[in-house]
């Protein structure tokens, strides 16, 4: 693939990934290659490359009969996703706490400060809050020495975000997401790995429960 084609493929990948994660292209939706070429204004090769990359991340599925489709949302997959996230988050966060330096601590503190200052209203999607939320969770794990583990955590965060955004699951009842983030921050800064891991795991599982409830209501 030429450099120009690779650049176009990366741009197509980024745009389609955003559309899939936000729910703009719904779960199970068909992704017709020719239509995508016309809509994105690029050729066949970079579109195929973009779809192949999305397929490798589990966001798109390919079959001989139907071509490319957006991966469906599924309760069993949601449960499996949560188990995988819990295991990898624990490995990454424990390593980050054990080996992160002062610069990492400062980065986590800044990421949390920016997230806490960003407005968020239940039932609505705020692009700024979503971006800062991603940065905070990514920064928590940034000092993990394994690049592969960090990459897998990022990929699973993407899939989990799609479930959350597609179902429009938000904090409900007594849940206080801002307080959950603050508690995780304090445990990380205290270098209390057991507490930090438990709080992050609880944070993820509470979101899973809300997503599951929303998907069951949607039927």
**CA nearest 116: which of 139, 140, 133, 141?**
133
Residue 184 neighbours by CB distance under 10 Å = 24
Helices 102-117 and 177-189, axial angle in degrees (round to 10): 170
Res 174: pLDDT: 60
Mean pLDDT per block of 10 residues along the chain (219 residues) reads: 76 89 85 92 92 89 83 92 97 98 98 92 72 96 98 92 75 74 98 98 94 84
Provide φ and ψ at 24, rounded to 5°.
-60, -35
Identify the CATH number of the domain defined by range 75-218: 1.20.120.530
Residue 122 neighbours by CB distance under 10 Å = 10
Res 215: pLDDT: 86
* Residue-range domain boundaries for the chain: 3-70, 75-218
CATH top-level class for 3-70? mainly alpha
CA 18 to chain centre: 11
Res 125: pLDDT: 62
Residue whose token pair is 């690779």: 6
pTM for this one? 0.82
Res 170: pLDDT: 52
Res 106: pLDDT: 98
**CA nearest 93: which of 170, 203, 209?**
203
């Amino acid at each position: 693939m030429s450099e120009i084609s690779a650049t176009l493929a990366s741009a197509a990948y980024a745009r389609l990934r955003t559309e899939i994660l936000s729910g703009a292209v719904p779960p199970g939706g068909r992704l017709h290659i020719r239509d995508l070429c016309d809509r994105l204004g690029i050729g066949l090769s970079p579109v195929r490359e973009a779809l192949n990359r999305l397929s490798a991340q589990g966001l798109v599925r390919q079959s001989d009969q139907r071509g490319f489709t957006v991966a469906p949302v599924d309760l069993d997959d949601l449960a499996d996703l949560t188990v995988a996230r819990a295991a990898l988050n624990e490995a990454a966060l424990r390593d980050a706490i054990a080996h992160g330096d002062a610069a990492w601590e400062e980065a986590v503190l800044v990421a949390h400060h920016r997230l806490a200052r960003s407005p968020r209203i239940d039932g609505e999607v705020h692009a700024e809050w979503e971006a800062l939320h991603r940065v905070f969770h990514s920064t928590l794990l940034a000092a993990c020495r394994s690049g592969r583990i960090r990459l897998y955590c990022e990929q699973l965060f993407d899939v989990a975000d799609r479930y959350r955004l597609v179902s429009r699951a938000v904090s409900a009842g007594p849940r206080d997401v801002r307080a959950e983030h603050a508690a995780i921050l304090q445990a990380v800064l205290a270098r209390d790995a057991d507490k930090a891991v438990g709080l992050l795991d609880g944070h993820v599982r509470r979101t899973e429960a809300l997503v599951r409830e929303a998907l069951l209501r949607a039927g």
